[in-house]
Chain A
Amino acid sequence: MLFLIKTLRALMRNPQGAIGTVLVFLLLLISVFGPFLAPQDPESFNFGSRFAPPSAEFLFGTDWFGRDLFSRILVGARSTVLLAILATFIGTASGALIGIFSGFVGGWVDELIMRTIDAIMAIPGLLLALMILTVLGSSSLNAVIAIGVAFAPGMARISRSTTLAVRELDYVSAARARGESKLWIIFSEILPNMVAPVIVEATIRVAFAIMTLATLSFLGLGAQPPSPEWGLMIADAREHMFRSPWPILAPGISIALVAIAFNLLGDGLRDVLNPHSQE
């Protein structure tokens, strides 16, 4: 807890970190309270005002059914952002654990794991997610799991390479020489010192996760219409692109903002989590 407060305080001193933290915090607020803040029902039709440009009544305009885009974005934030974070978390945690284990144990175990991961990485991430979804069946939660699994190999590689660098350091040797258990070495000596690049990578991946979720929804394998999931909104609005840009712009800009927010946070965290900058 003390560590969290310290990190937050340091983040607020870092310009990128401060902007990122504020944006991400706002996003989380919207994800949680979005449905209560929405001025209109996201699924109610207003046939009188289809394709309306932004106005006082419809802040972001309306879509082809005359649904209020602002309300849809607010309500959709929950499924989009939270699911993306969940997917990233699954991918990061499992990947990092595999990577640390593989890097620390070394030897033929390491080679076996890494060659398997090489094989998995040969399949494009989206294709892999599609394969998993075909087996699990299509639903939002399964899409999250599929994306998590598809992310894991990349994270495993990153965490393995940082583990290999940390493992050679003398404090790990010192721990081995004094006969510490493997669990202590992995979780207390290595993990805290390799977590920085992993967290930075994870924040960047959140944006990817949103895109992949959107893609899966677009292909009809994730969220199902009329759910206001952002990716799905873009996918559906494609047909009406030439009549009004607003149904695409609103969710598109939202996704971009989320990506920027998490990237900034990631940059800030990278600086803050370096132990030498902590005073």
Chain B
Amino acid sequence: MTQTMVLDIKDYSLTYQTQSGPIRILENINLQIAKGEVLGLVGESGSAKSSLAYSVMRDLPGQVEMETGSMWLKGEDLMTMDEEELMHRRGKQISMVFQNAATALDPTQSLGDHVEETLQAHQAVSKLNKSKQETLKRVYELFELVGLPDPILMAKKYPHEVSGGEKQRVVLAMAISSNPDLILFDEPTSALDATTAVNMLDLFAEMQKKIGVAGLFISHDLGVVAEVADRVAVIYGGRIVEVATVEDLFANPKHPYTQSLLASLPRPSDIRYKRGLKIDEGTPPPRRGAVPNCNFSHRCPKHDPAICDHSRVLLEIQDDRKLACVRPDVAVNEEQARSSDILPPTTDIVLEVKNLTVKLGRASLLSELLNKEATQVHAVNNIDLKIHRGETVSLVGESGCGKSSLARALVGLNPFEGELCLNGCDIKALDAAYRADVQIIFQNPDSSLNPRHTLETILSRAIKLYRPDIAVKERSEAIQKLLEQVRLPAHYRNRYPHQLSGGEKQRVAIARAIAADPKVIICDEITSGLDAAVQAAIVALLRQIQQDTGVALLFITHDLAILRHIAHRTAVMYLGEIIETRSIAGLDHAPYHPYTEALLSSASSPDPKTETRQVRLKGSLPVRTSLLTGCGFESRCPRRIGDICHEQPAPIKSTAESSHILKCHHEIVDLERIEPVWKFT
């Protein structure tokens, strides 16, 4: 390496002091980022990837016990600088793009002021006194650069008046405003919808080309990293285990952890090649006490004490990459899991929804007295949906499309209009029997399990309410059986939710749902917050439960990649309407609804065997408080025909495939001619 690196981290280790003793955060980190290069940093939650970003910013949140090594930014050691010197570098030489743009922006400042302030702060440092006019001109330039429409108007707006994607663009404009040498991206697209996230990724890549800044791109999502990074570093338990170019890493991962990580990620080609997902819910490596020589050894399939435990395994150059493994060439007898066929569903309808409408919002007492019309959001509009026994229907769509409102309405948490039909009977009121038959699992187990109840209390309530046939004395046994069913050890019954890992908590939520022996379980984004390996395990568990009990699942998600491993059919929602229903088996073939096409295209995935055709959405969403005259997707549709889309509601059309319906003004024949989203090689 002859050229000077923008960032050169040499043998950096960090230990925090906590109440219960020192805890190792980062160990022997060696990383280089060259000018104009983007290094992706991937790892599961808790792997200390964000801590690394904070160390580079020299803004550590914890109480430092020990910090060694050095960190060179363009030939200057950041670790020896004092606070004042660092202040001149933060924002000027290194800037950061945070995960959540909504909280990174000050709600009381206009978007233009945000960028202006950053510009002024750093001009003061360089003693460049530009006039107000020039500063504003630069603000508009930056806004244009990050693709914000109408910069002059945008600069006057406040954060709450723009969309999430636009906020993230403003944060990016702030980050590049002072021409930094290095930008740290901390999960910048995780909080965005898939269709918005791909636009952001395109923008990062484009920006990168234009200004040639170096970047450290942190993400838990390998697919996202594959889109933007040149090289990828894989971090596991605070140590870098493998660094390679994107192509090399995805085509031929060498570290057993990287292999396991990739094996548990779903790919678009999975149905075609009958590829299953690897389930590996290993425990994270120890962060306290004795230092293991290789921190993956406790779950490594090829761990050999004689070789691996001999001395500390460090990151070393091996062929085309850097690797922290002493026996990478040893083949393990481990094949990629095969996908077992999902059992076909039966034909008897278990739950039928007819003309269901959900309106949110309530008038306050005062406006009711003044006879003011309440502004209501039409969250769900006239939805029809059938679920068969033993079937999994996935409901996909971006945030705010009404997926969760529908789910909450079905379990009686949102008032609704329309008809419900369970097991052939019309449901007049959501009584105890109905509630027992239709269960819900929420997205975030941190908030869906009461932190002050033990698992025993949590599970026994469900049994008490739904299973009057189980006597009080037998409840304890029933709880044990439930824990067994979700593969949790029996002694967990006395634990509190915060003593469990994310995946285990979600298992408890599943156990609570199946306690009632329900007919339908509504899974509201239940795998969204989980790491890929844990997600694979939860999906496998749900399939097992479905196989054993014949329960029907309504699997709500915004992650399209996982659908192939769980669902029979998918319903795509947009602005409160189901715009397309189709079987998963036919997912790879046209015709698509134009929105489905864009949604499928934006699911990023590191699959060397697949080429994804790019479809990008522009434009903004219409207001939700009034009913639309035409098609809801009209404002963003890349295949908009003309005024007919705005004036008339899209007709329902069925295609050659039996269960495939879509709502669009286009003729099915025309949609059939569209190229498929994926090309498999």
The verdict on A36 contacting chain B, using a C-beta distance below 8 Å, is no
Contact A276 B465 (CB under 8 A): no
Contact B362 A107 (CB under 8 A): yes
The verdict on B422 contacting chain A, using a C-beta distance below 8 Å, is no
- The docked-state distance in angstroms from the alpha carbon of A173 to that of B496 is 19
Min CB distance, B570 to chain A, in Å? 24
- The docked-state distance in angstroms from the alpha carbon of A248 to that of B217 is 66
State whether A177 and B461 are in contact (beta carbons under 8 Å apart), knowing that A107-B362, A193-B451 are contacts in the complex: no
Min CB distance, B428 to chain A, in Å? 16
Contact A176 B413 (CB under 8 A): yes
Binary interface profile of A, 247-277, with partner B (CB < 8 Å = 1, else 0)?
0000000000000000000000000000110
- The docked-state distance in angstroms from the alpha carbon of A267 to that of B147 is 49
A279 contacts across to B, CB distance below 8 A: 20
Contact B447 A177 (CB under 8 A): no
Contact A169 B447 (CB under 8 A): yes
- The docked-state distance in angstroms from the alpha carbon of A50 to that of B362 is 70
Contact B413 A276 (CB under 8 A): no
Contact B448 A176 (CB under 8 A): no
Min CB distance, B499 to chain A, in Å? 8
The verdict on A124 contacting chain B, using a C-beta distance below 8 Å, is no
- The docked-state distance in angstroms from the alpha carbon of A180 to that of B465 is 8
CB neighbors of B among A129-185 (8 A): 169-171, 173-180
Closest to B366 in A: A111
Interface centre among B365, B448, B450, B512 (most CB of A within 10 A): B450
The listed residue (A107, A170, A177, A193) touching B435 by CB distance below 8 A is A177
Binary interface profile of B, 361-402, with partner A (CB < 8 Å = 1, else 0)?
010110010000000000000000000000000000000000
The listed residue (A170, A275, A278) touching B442 by CB distance below 8 A is A170
A180 contacts across to B, CB distance below 8 A: 461, 465
Interface centre among B412, B444, B447 (most CB of A within 10 A): B447
A174 contacts across to B, CB distance below 8 A: 440, 442, 448, 512
Contact B412 A176 (CB under 8 A): yes
Closest to A109 in B: B365
Binary interface profile of A, 73-84, with partner B (CB < 8 Å = 1, else 0)?
000000000000
A276 contacts across to B, CB distance below 8 A: 451, 498
The verdict on B114 contacting chain A, using a C-beta distance below 8 Å, is no
The verdict on B408 contacting chain A, using a C-beta distance below 8 Å, is yes
CB neighbors of A among B592-628 (8 A): none
Min CB distance, A150 to chain B, in Å? 26
- The docked-state distance in angstroms from the alpha carbon of A107 to that of B443 is 27
Contact A178 B435 (CB under 8 A): yes
CB neighbors of B among A171-228 (8 A): 171, 173-180, 188-189, 192-193
Binary interface profile of B, 428-454, with partner A (CB < 8 Å = 1, else 0)?
000010010001101110011111110
Closest to B410 in A: A177
Closest to B368 in A: A108
B452 contacts across to A, CB distance below 8 A: 192-193, 275
State whether A179 and B408 are in contact (beta carbons under 8 Å apart), knowing that A171-B449, A276-B498 are contacts in the complex: no
The listed residue (B364, B411, B440, B450) touching A111 by CB distance below 8 A is B364
Min CB distance, B572 to chain A, in Å? 25
Closest to A177 in B: B411
Closest to B433 in A: A179
- The docked-state distance in angstroms from the alpha carbon of A176 to that of B450 is 13
- The docked-state distance in angstroms from the alpha carbon of A189 to that of B451 is 9
CB neighbors of A among B329-369 (8 A): 362, 364-365, 368
State whether A173 and B413 are in contact (beta carbons under 8 Å apart), knowing that A189-B450, A275-B451 are contacts in the complex: yes
B364 contacts across to A, CB distance below 8 A: 111
A177 contacts across to B, CB distance below 8 A: 411-413, 435, 439-440
Contact B447 A178 (CB under 8 A): no
Contact A173 B450 (CB under 8 A): no
State whether A111 and B447 are in contact (beta carbons under 8 Å apart), knowing that A170-B442, A178-B435, A180-B465 are contacts in the complex: no
Contact A275 B447 (CB under 8 A): no
The verdict on B466 contacting chain A, using a C-beta distance below 8 Å, is yes
- The docked-state distance in angstroms from the alpha carbon of A171 to that of B452 is 11
Closest to A192 in B: B452
Closest to A112 in B: B365
B466 contacts across to A, CB distance below 8 A: 178
- The docked-state distance in angstroms from the alpha carbon of A177 to that of B521 is 12
Closest to A171 in B: B450
Binary interface profile of B, 496-532, with partner A (CB < 8 Å = 1, else 0)?
1010000000000000100010000000000000000
A192 contacts across to B, CB distance below 8 A: 450, 452
Binary interface profile of B, 640-652, with partner A (CB < 8 Å = 1, else 0)?
0000000000000
- The docked-state distance in angstroms from the alpha carbon of A173 to that of B411 is 10
The verdict on B79 contacting chain A, using a C-beta distance below 8 Å, is no
A171 contacts across to B, CB distance below 8 A: 447-450
The verdict on B590 contacting chain A, using a C-beta distance below 8 Å, is no
B442 contacts across to A, CB distance below 8 A: 170, 173-174
- The docked-state distance in angstroms from the alpha carbon of A112 to that of B368 is 14
State whether A170 and B447 are in contact (beta carbons under 8 Å apart), knowing that A108-B365, A193-B452, A275-B496 are contacts in the complex: yes
B447 contacts across to A, CB distance below 8 A: 169-171
- The docked-state distance in angstroms from the alpha carbon of A175 to that of B464 is 13
- The docked-state distance in angstroms from the alpha carbon of A162 to that of B512 is 26
CB neighbors of A among B473-508 (8 A): 496, 498
- The docked-state distance in angstroms from the alpha carbon of A174 to that of B443 is 12
- The docked-state distance in angstroms from the alpha carbon of A189 to that of B261 is 38
- The docked-state distance in angstroms from the alpha carbon of A188 to that of B408 is 22
Min CB distance, B668 to chain A, in Å? 39
Q: Give 6 closest A-B pairs by Cβ, nearest first.
A: A170-B448, A170-B442, A192-B452, A177-B411, A275-B451, A171-B450
Which B residues contact A (CB, under 8 angstroms)? 20, 362, 364-365, 368, 408, 411-413, 432, 435, 439-440, 442-444, 447-453, 461-462, 465-466, 496, 498, 512, 516
Q: Could you write out 15 A-B pairs with CB less than 8 Å apart?
A: A108-B368, A111-B364, A112-B365, A169-B447, A170-B444, A171-B449, A174-B512, A176-B413, A177-B412, A177-B439, A188-B453, A189-B450, A192-B452, A275-B452, A275-B498
Give 9 A-B pairs besides A170-B443, A177-B412, A193-B450 with Cβ atoms closer than 8 angstroms.
Answer: A108-B365, A111-B364, A171-B448, A176-B412, A176-B413, A177-B411, A178-B466, A178-B516, A276-B498
